Amino acid sequence: MVRIQLSDKAILSTKAQSIAYLLRQDFSMPHSLLEVAQTAFPALTTYMKQMHFTGKVGDALAIPLAHGETIFTLFLIVLGKESDKKIEIESYRRALGSLIKMMQQRKMDSVALRLPNHQFFDVDAAYLAEQTAIVASMASYRFDDFITNKDRKVNQNLSMELIIDNAQQKEIEQGLKRGTIIVESLNKVRHWIDLPAKYLTPLELAEKATQIADRFGLRATIFNEQEVNAMGMGGLSAVSVGSEVDCRFVILEYQAPEKSAPTVAFVGKGITFDSGGLSIKPAAAMETMKEDMSGAAAVNGAMEVLAQLNPNINIVAITPLSENMPSGKATKPGDIIRFYNGKTAEVKNTDAEGRLILADALSYAVKHYKLDAIVDLATLTGACAYALGPYFSGMMSQHDGLVQQLEAASKRSGDRVWRLPFDNDYKAAIKSEVADICNIGSQTIKAGAITAGFFLQNFVDEVPFAHLDIAGVAYDVPNISYLGVGATGYGLRLLVELAMNWK
């Protein structure tokens, strides 16, 4: 985490080892940077020109300087082009991410950063401060629990002195506070995802949910495998039966301050390891399948945040947790199963297991709660990852109002969504000769991401529903400075924004 402290002192009086400016490429240097230059490097402007400091967003210079007895590094990072009237907040995120990564590479633990003018980005000061807190700590995160060579570790606990003028200090403080709450949970979620499947089974993940509930006053209900079987959750049972580890069905409930508030359900896929089951995956496709609980992790992490931010909306979070393993007891292709709502499915491929556990979770949600909407997050299909790559999740919904809310939350949070067509024509793909539906789509209709979405839609009755396929975005996203290897925690920021701004 990056610990941020506000300061209104002149930047040169900082005790930090480095000073950073995020700049537009027009070199219109902020007054305080001119002061730094005058004191420690009068030829700075010429130097910047010489070094072709005109690269793309995130490009940077690191200049060692001396000022009296103190030696410090001046970081200059490109934030946008000269022609930009308004700079996207995403450019700010990436520039800030570059700064944190540069500090870690250079083993620098502290920085003084001048918070840029929020009007640059056409946002308010609180939001800019919140994004600063979130992104700085996102960038500092690395999963290194199992690396023993100290030289390969980087310091994740950095400190940042954020230089502001006195105006709007209150708003900035509030934004920082909110951002810190969000990113603490976000990095925790990323750690759960990054933990190897042997350290994070359904039992451990359910335990994390219990801890959140206890600490922040959420109601928790957890069913074990015996109870899941007895309740008729045939999807979760069928996926878990091949595994040595028991499954869990976890419900967390947050209550709004007002009784009359709307109620929304968040559902997350929690496969702690997906081998494919008897329809076993090829070795390469299995390598990262500890990530297959990313949806569940994001949903429960969002609950931890929301329990602290107190939106006026009731939220039910449901996360079915299981391994998907082959064994003598495992579900076989051709088996027919019955879900919690009574519908049946033919399991032609045991690797399409996510929709099976989600079917029970969605059925449970609509049966036990009077819902205004359901949103699910799932690393559901390779097809979605191929279609959109690592930068956008696939959003499927027939409810324009819900889509608009998700798109707005996406813009604010930075978790990007892209709406896929979700037309009833695709429904024919999951017909079965021997059961109500089949768990894989037909060869002729293809569109694997969308047909998986239609499978899920069988279990939500009339409740407005949106499905987010996060298979591409949950893990190993290249070329975004504040992400890096491993888990991204995708979805937590999105769900938090959605709940906080629910209409």
CA 293, 298, 304: angle at the middle one, nearest 5?
130
As a whole number of angstroms, the distance between CA 192 and CA 20 comes to: 32
Q: Which is nearer to Zn ion, 117 or 386 (CB)?
A: 386
Q: Give yes or no for a contact between 502 and 310, defined as CB atoms under 8 angstroms apart.
A: no
As a whole number of angstroms, the distance between CA 296 and CA 274 comes to: 14
Going by their DSSP bridges, the two strands 344-347 and 335-338 should be labelled as antiparallel
As a whole number of angstroms, the distance between CA 58 and CA 98 comes to: 6
To the nearest whole angstrom, how small is the minimum distance from the Cβ of residue 303 to ligand BES?
Answer: 23
Q: Per CB under 5 A, which of residues 262..281 are in contact with Zn ion?
A: 271, 274
To the nearest whole angstrom, how small is the minimum distance from the Cβ of residue 448 to ligand BES?
Answer: 6
Q: Per CB under 5 A, which of residues 354..373 are in contact with Zn ion?
A: 354
351: contact with Zn ion by CB under 5 A: yes
Q: Per CB under 5 A, which of residues 292..321 are in contact with Zn ion?
A: 292
As a whole number of angstroms, the distance between CA 40 and CA 67 comes to: 5
Catalytic site residue from 93, 355, 412, 493: 355
Binding partner of residue 213 among Zn ion, ligand BES, none, CB cut-off 5 to 8 Å per kind? none
469: contact with Zn ion by CB under 5 A: no
Q: How is residue 411 written in tokens?
A: 């813009």
Which single residue is written with the structure tokens 């003018």? 117
Distance of CA 65 to the CA centre of its chain: 38
Question: Is 281 among the catalytic positions?
Answer: yes
Site residues (CB under 6 A) for ligand BES? 274, 292, 349, 351-354, 379-383, 385, 440, 448, 471
Binding partner of residue 252 among ligand BES, Zn ion, none, CB cut-off 5 to 8 Å per kind? none
Catalytic site residue from 281, 338, 416, 427: 281
- Give one DSSP letter per residue of 105-116, joined into a string: HTT--EEEEEPP
Binding partner of residue 253 among Zn ion, ligand BES, none, CB cut-off 5 to 8 Å per kind? none
To the nearest whole angstrom, how small is the minimum distance from the Cβ of residue 242 to Zn ion?
Answer: 12
Query: Could you give the string, one character per residue 55-84, with x where binding to Zn ion holds by CB under 5 A and - elsewhere?
Result: ------------------------------
How far from 187 is each of 11, 298, 396, CA to CA, in Å? 30, 10, 27
Question: Is 355 among the catalytic positions?
Answer: yes
448: contact with Zn ion by CB under 5 A: no
Q: How is residue 211 written in tokens?
A: 């801890």
Amino acid at residue number 474 = A
To the nearest whole angstrom, how small is the minimum distance from the Cβ of residue 393 to Zn ion?
Answer: 15
Q: Which residues bind Zn ion (CB under 5 A)?
A: 271, 274, 292, 351, 353-354
- Residues tagged active-site: 281, 355
